[in-house]
Amino acid sequence: MSSQPEQQQQQQPQSTSKPPHLDPATYPRTLHLPAQNIHLELTYNPLDPSIALSQTSSPSAGANVLFLGTTRDTFEDRPVLQLSYTTYPPLALKTLSAIAEEAVSKHGLTGVSIAHRLGVVPIREASIVIAVSAGHRGAAWRAGEEVLELCKEKAEIWKMEEFVDGGAEWRANRDRDAEGRAV
């Protein structure tokens, strides 16, 4: 008999499940700030622009601006098959919330809705929907573009461009300006 204590090693079962932030079954992830009429969503489902408009509409809004960012079929003359997006939701929702709250404060908006699709986004389908409402069109136009640019610059959402030839490249959302020029 050995005087050494016997050590039992328990083997942990191998988990084949995805972490919750990568598991589409744990979505949509939403955040609603009713005091400012802010609606945020991260989802694997196709985006519905009519929902974003209905969330931001208000009797005091004379202007409602809607933006859809869609997957196009080429990038620098290279045929694109699809885009694929991933994120870490707690961080992304915190950033999107800060962007929306700042827009409401700066532009006097009556509502903001930002929805971003995750996973595979085929050609012609929307990866982002932004709706803003304001009393007047000037504020709504400026805010809509500003919200989009800040989402692309700051939101922790990462994009893989998948090409028809089988290649793929991770891209920063902010690798191009509003006119498509490299930044």
Q: Which residues are annotated as a binding site for substrate?
A: 136-137, 152, 159-161
Residue 120: strand, helix, or coil: strand
Query: Is 183 exposed, middle or buried, given 0-12, 13-18 or 19+ CB atoms closer than 10 A?
Result: exposed
Question: Bridge-partner residues for 116, per DSSP?
Answer: 42, 128
CA atoms of 42 and 26, how far apart (whole Å)? 10
Cα-flanking dihedrals φ and ψ of residue 23, to 5°? Answer: -95, 110
Which residue positions form the known binding site? 136-137, 152, 159-161
Nearest to 54 by CA among 113, 104, 97, 138: 113
E-state strands within the chain: 29-33, 38-43, 63-70, 74-75, 78-87, 111-117, 119-122, 126-134, 157-163, 168-171
Matching residue, tokens 């009713």: 34
Nearest to 157 by CA among 54, 102, 86: 86
